[in-house]
Amino acid sequence: MSAQRVQEIFERETAAFEAANPRSRELYERARGSLLGGVPMSWMMKWAGGFPLFAASAGGSTITDVDGHAYADFCLGDTGAMTGHAPAAVAGTVAEQAARALTTMLPSPDAPVVGEALRERFGLPLWQMTLSATDANRFAIRFGREITGRPRILIFNWCYHGSVDETFATLRGGRVVAREGNVGPPVDPGSTTRVVEFNDVAALEAALAEGDVPCVLAEPAMTNIGIVLPDPGFHDALRALTRRYGTLLIIDETHTLSTGYGGYTREYGLEPDLLTVGKPIGGGVPAGAFGMTQEVAERALAQPDADYVDTGGVGGTLAGNALSLAAMRAALTEVLTQESYARTIPLAERFEAGVRVAIERHGAPWHVTRLGSRVEYAFTPEQPRTGGEAAAAHDDELESLLHLYVLNRGVLMTPFHNMALMGPTTTKEQVDLHTTVFSEALDELFAGPEPGTG
Ligand SMILES: Cc1ncc(COP(=O)(O)O)c(C=O)c1O
């Protein structure tokens, strides 16, 4: 596969995309007059093709755009719609709730129901609501710093936990530096953050032994730089070391909720001090949450100077609003059920098998990994063991080409990953459509003579 071939196919696919999507293009041109980059949130500029599709509707696992094309959606709102789009239980509940109350500064009757649902699912006894996973992480970190009095959180190289200032740090030549592209970092992240590679137990111990780490913030398996799975025994070591050095363990289940009903934590019996989650728990309505042990709660509330009720840095006016709580109740109790995972995981296995066969058929030096209902392929023959290894294997051009190729044939992948997520509404036909168009892409990329060789 040559760079020239990638470029040629990309140009052809871009022209096809433009020709097929005049209405999206028109809306994009108009939006450029009032929206930065022509989009309501700048990351939407990431879509391959030169402009994003504008979605007219999204139901189940299908998105229909303003030009009338229907897409098998494996992006599912980058996990925000892991429940499927607008699931009936959530949509109905939200409509009813909207007629009753939206936001009041008072808890609604759904509050304890949601707290109990989160407790039952993840095992942690006490919860707080936020509007996003980013906020859940920010507040969990603040709890950690407050109760330990230590300054520098620890993260794994190339992690992503939302737009949390302390986490925009990477390792360069063994030093902690601002992550590439970090927009206006408030302070040198070396002063707030320690970074080690995932699965590197020795580096983890050395960093924790410094005695200044309040908390480790970790996804149980990395999902944002491709999927990086923990080595056998890594989580045991992580938990033992954090306990030994008096460091709290925050597990971010926002994406790994794909693993099973109670995320990776429940599936593998992890014992975090705090757990954060967001994205699909409101079924598409903004919602996030963080849970904690009794001990963390007691220590947090015992801090004489910490202000939890006013301007202490933990909060959000609309956090815990009646609409989000109603949506969480419906999503947690009626949509993200055990039965739903029994359906989505076999679909993900089917997706994974399709990708694997195509990769093997072409002898492509790629691999595919699965985490419950989430599948990701990447451009290395072996699974990476660290974020650094995964980052080194990144190929933006190839990734964009593959995304555009499948998009032009009715399949949406997450623009930030080669990730596909199955929802309870995903069908076998949609999975097989991906297998077909992915195989066609590989046929073009790997088969036949290279351009210019006749
Ligand atoms: C693991 C993880 N945590 C937290 C977040 C932040 O979620 P949000 O942007 O909805 O706040 C993300 C977003 O991709 C994530 O992948």
Averaged pLDDT for residues 412-431:
95
Distance 29 CA to ligand 1 centre (A): 29
Pair of tokens at residue 24: 């999206």
| Under 8 Å between Cβ of 122 and 253 | yes
Give the pLDDT score at 410.
98
Distance 217 CA to ligand 1 centre (A): 13
pTM value > 0.85: yes
Measure the CA–CA gap between 279 and 82, rounded to whole angstroms. Answer: 8
Each residue's pLDDT tens digit, 196-245: 999 999 999 999 999 999 999 999 999 999 999 999 999 999 999 999 99
Averaged pLDDT for residues 159-176:
97
Q: Establish how many alpha carbons lie within 13 A of residue 94's alpha carbon, considering only the half-sphere containing its beta carbon.
A: 16
Q: In what order do the strands lie in the sheet with 153-156?
A: 126-130, 288-292, 274-277, 248-252, 215-218, 153-156, 193-196
Distance 451 CA to ligand 1 centre (A): 41
Q: Could you tell me which residues come within 8 angstroms of residue 448 by beta carbon, excluding any fewer than 6 positions away?
A: none
Q: Could you tell me which residues come within 8 angstroms of residue 25 by beta carbon, excluding any fewer than 6 positions away?
A: 18, 51
Best residue among 217, 279, 324, 421 to mutate for probing ligand 1's pocket (most ligand atoms within 8 Å of CB) is 279
Give the pLDDT score at 449.
58
User: Taking 60 as the threshold, does the pLDDT of residue 400 lie above it?
Assistant: yes
Distance 134 CA to ligand 1 centre (A): 6
Q: Which atom of ligand 1 is nearest to the CA of 80?
A: 10
Q: Could you tell me which residues come within 8 angstroms of residue 317 by beta carbon, excluding any fewer than 6 positions away?
A: 103, 105
Q: What does DSSP assign to residue 227? A: -
User: Taking 90 as the threshold, does the pLDDT of residue 88 lie above it?
Assistant: yes
Pair of tokens at residue 247: 């460091």
Distance 254 CA to ligand 1 centre (A): 6
Each residue's pLDDT tens digit, 67-87: 999 999 999 999 999 999 999
The residue whose CA has the least distance to atom 6 of ligand 1 is 162
Each residue's pLDDT tens digit, 6-41: 899 999 999 999 999 999 999 999 999 999 999 999
Distance 302 CA to ligand 1 centre (A): 30
Distance 161 CA to ligand 1 centre (A): 5
User: Taking 50 as the threshold, does the pLDDT of residue 393 lie above it?
Assistant: yes
Give burial (CB, 10 Å; 0-12/13-18/19+) of 356.
Answer: middle
The residue whose CA has the least distance to atom 2 of ligand 1 is 161
Ligand 1 site residues (CB inside 6 A) read 132-134, 137, 160-162, 219, 224, 252, 254-255, 278-279
Averaged pLDDT for residues 393-420:
94
Helix residue ranges, H only, 101-132: 110-122
The residue whose CA has the least distance to atom 14 of ligand 1 is 162
Distance 73 CA to ligand 1 centre (A): 19
In this structure, the chain runs to a length of 454
- The residues that bridge with 126 in the sheet, in sequence order, are 292
Best residue among 129, 135, 161, 217 to mutate for probing ligand 1's pocket (most ligand atoms within 8 Å of CB) is 161
Distance 319 CA to ligand 1 centre (A): 16
Angle (CA) 91-277-395 rounded to 5° is 100
Each residue's pLDDT tens digit, 111-142: 999 999 999 999 999 999 999 999 999 999 99
Give the pLDDT score at 452.
46
- The pLDDT > 90 percentage for the chain reads 95
Q: Tell me which H or E stretch contains 3.
A: helix 3-20
Give the pLDDT score at 1.
75
| Under 8 Å between Cβ of 301 and 87 | no
Please, what sign has the CA dihedral across residues 102, 107, 109, 113?
positive
Each residue's pLDDT tens digit, 269-328: 999 999 999 999 999 999 999 999 999 999 999 999 999 999 999 999 999 999 999 999
The residue whose CA has the least distance to atom 15 of ligand 1 is 161
Give the pLDDT score at 4.
87
Q: Which CA distances in Å does 153 have to 45, 148, 174?
A: 31, 11, 17
DSSP 290-355: EEE-HHHHHHHHT-TT--SSSSSS---TTTT-HHHHHHHHHIIIIIS-HHHHHHHHHHHHHHHHHH
Backbone angles phi, psi at 99, to 5 degrees: -75, -20
Q: Which atom of ligand 1 is nearest to the CA of 132?
A: 11
Mean per-residue pLDDT of the chain: 96
Q: Which atom of ligand 1 is nearest to the CA of 162?
A: 6
Give the pLDDT score at 33.
98
Q: Could you tell me which residues come within 8 angstroms of residue 299 by beta carbon, excluding any fewer than 6 positions away?
A: 147
Measure the CA–CA gap between 162 and 426, rounded to whole angstroms. Answer: 26
Give the pLDDT score at 453.
45
454 pLDDT band, cuts 50/70/90, is very low
Measure the CA–CA gap between 157 and 368, rounded to whole angstroms. Answer: 21
